[in-house]
Structure formats: C-alpha cells, structure tokens
Amino acid sequence: MNQSSRPGTVLLTDYAWPDDSVERSVIEGAGHTLVTGPAEPASAEAIEGLVAEHRPAGILTCWAPVSATAIGTSPDLRIVARLGVGLDNIAVEAATDRGVWVTNVPDYCVEEVADHAVGMVLAWTRGLALFDRDVRAGRWNPAGARLRRLSTLTCGVVGYGRIGRATAGRLGAFGCRILAHDPYPPKDAPGVEMVGLEELLRRSDVVILHVPLTPDTHHIIGAEQLALMRRGGLLVNVSRGGLVDTDAVIKALDSGHLDGAAFDVLESEPHVPDGLLAQPGALLTPHVAFSSDASVTELRRRAAEEVVRILAGQAPAHARNSPRGLPAGSGGR
C-alpha cells in the first residue's frame, strides 16, 4: 500500500450540529479513523493539544482556530478542510509553507444566505421584528407603522460573487434598483449597475455585505463609510463580523443616521455588545444564515469527501492554496 492510500487519522475539531455521524460515515467508510473534539469550538491552544495527541493526516474544522502551531505539530498532516466558506480561522500561509492543502465548500449555502439577507431586508421594510416585539409586550398600535415599499428603494450589494448575485436576483424580483460593488466586476450583470464602493454607499437605502474577511476588508464599514450612507438606511451583514466596526454602527443607530442594522454575524460573537442589544433597530440572528437541513448535510459530506480525496492521493475539488512541494493537480506527497 503506498503512502497516499494508507489509512490515517482525521481530527474533527468542532461541529455546529448535534453529532458527527455524516463526517464519520464518509471518513470511516474510506478506511480512516475519525477523532472528534468538543462540539463547541475550543481555543487555539486546545486544538494544538489535540493535534499533538492524535497526529492527524487530516483536519476538519468548523469554527475552531487551526493555528500555524497546530499545522506544524503533526508531521502526517496533509489537509485542513473548512466546514464552511471563510478561511479566517485557518493559518493558510503556514499550511501552504508546509505542503498542506486548505479546502472549503464555497457554494453549499448560496440559497440560504441570499434568502437570509433578503429576509432581513423584508423584516426591516415591513417592521416584522419590531411589531412582533410590540404585540408580545401588549402594544397594539397599527397607527404607529412607518413602513417602506421595497420596490422604491435602492439596494447596494457589496461583493458580487455567488451569494451576491443570488441576493441581487431575489431583490430584483421585488422591483428595486440594484447596485453592486466588487473588486473583480463581471463583464455582464443584467439588471445590476456596477459601481465603486463610495458611490454604492451614497446611493443605497440598503447595503448588504457579501465579502470574505481578509486584512483588506477588516472594518470595510466603519464610521467614515456609515456617514456616506443615506440617512435612515439599513446595513445588513451576513458574511463575517469583522467587516463592520460595531461601535460605529451603534453610534449611527443612536444618532438616527442608520435606521436599522441586521446582523447574522458579529466581530465579538457569541458575545453581543450591550449597546447593540439596546437598539430597537437592530435585528440579530446567531450566525445561522448558512443553515438549513439540506445545506448542513451537504456541507458536512462534501468537506469530509475532500479529506478522503487528499488522503487517497487525488486532487481536491476546492483548493484554496497551492502547497509548496506538491505538483499541480496532485493530492499526494
């Protein structure tokens, strides 16, 4: 048996679902051993300890941090597979330097995240969350409604990748004007006007973020950018919390410059700042935009299959790096 097809140990660092049955079925069905860490994401140090203990050939990670130390601890490590899209919890450069693949599942939740973003917009235009709170508190005040017609609004989508395009398509069906910004704009975007970020902020009633978190996009929306937005608008973030300066958003809500902030993600999650909780215009969900029965099952299966491919010496389907010392298109060593 050659090295690329030898059975190995795979570490599942954490998981945001009830069990590890899907991952175990795929990994152990291919003849490997799955070791599972705590369901809640542990600290970087705890993950480093698990890697040192089990010396995995593959790591599957959801939210837990996979540090450069963890990557360098197991001499057998060949892949770190993200159970998700973003890679901000993985030391990608360290993996690349050590000849370790990094993969993700970039398209498993396109429909869910786009639906969630548009649902947040509708909740704001129709006052759904606010009125639900009022009714439950014993207040029945239809005369107090200050609602909006979505078709009269301009919606700006920051990041025009798979999810951004899906969101724009859904919003377009409501008849509103769609602006989009992307550093790599497509040649053709039917029904969408591609503009610079500042122009998008100035012209949009609603701004929706669909970009990855990188050093360049950290706090892409801060006090300066919020000041450019139209007064009384809505900011939606269903991507990564670090894209937004939360303190600046709280101040914009306090002043009335922003009417609403709809966040599925927070820079401080799972902690929610008291100043944000106190805002009646804040609509908050606990990082679940990606989630549905179908999307989670698909995510788990496809991420585990990437590990099996690499351990079998095959090329990954969704590589996010080019490991040093490995031939192009190869999964083996």
Active-site pick, 6, 55, 287, 318: 287
DSSP structure class, residue 63: S
d(CA 160, CA 185): 7
Active-site pick, 28, 111, 193, 269: 269
287 catalytic per annotation: yes
d(CA 319, CA 12): 19
d(CA 15, CA 64): 9
Q: How many CB atoms lie within 10 A of CB 142?
A: 6
User: What are the two backbone dihedrals, phi and then psi, of residue 180, each rounded to the nearest 5 degrees?
Assistant: -145, 150
d(CA 257, CA 319): 42
Quote the Cα angle for 58-62-68, to 5°.
Answer: 55
Helices 110-125 and 162-173, packing angle to 10 deg: 40
Active-site pick, 240, 300, 302, 309: 240
d(CA 49, CA 73): 9
Residue-wise DSSP of 285-326? --S-TT--HHHHHHHHHHHHHHHHHHHTTPPPSSB-S--TTS
Tokens 């998008």 correspond to: 200
Nearest of 107, 29, 25, 13 to residue 63 by alpha carbon: 13
Contact call for residues 64 and 39 (beta carbons, < 8 A) = no
Residue-wise DSSP of 85-110? S--TTB-HHHHHHTT-EEE--TTTTH
Nearest of 183, 144, 186 to residue 168 by alpha carbon: 186
309 catalytic per annotation: no
231 catalytic per annotation: no
Residues with a catalytic annotation lie at 240, 269, 287
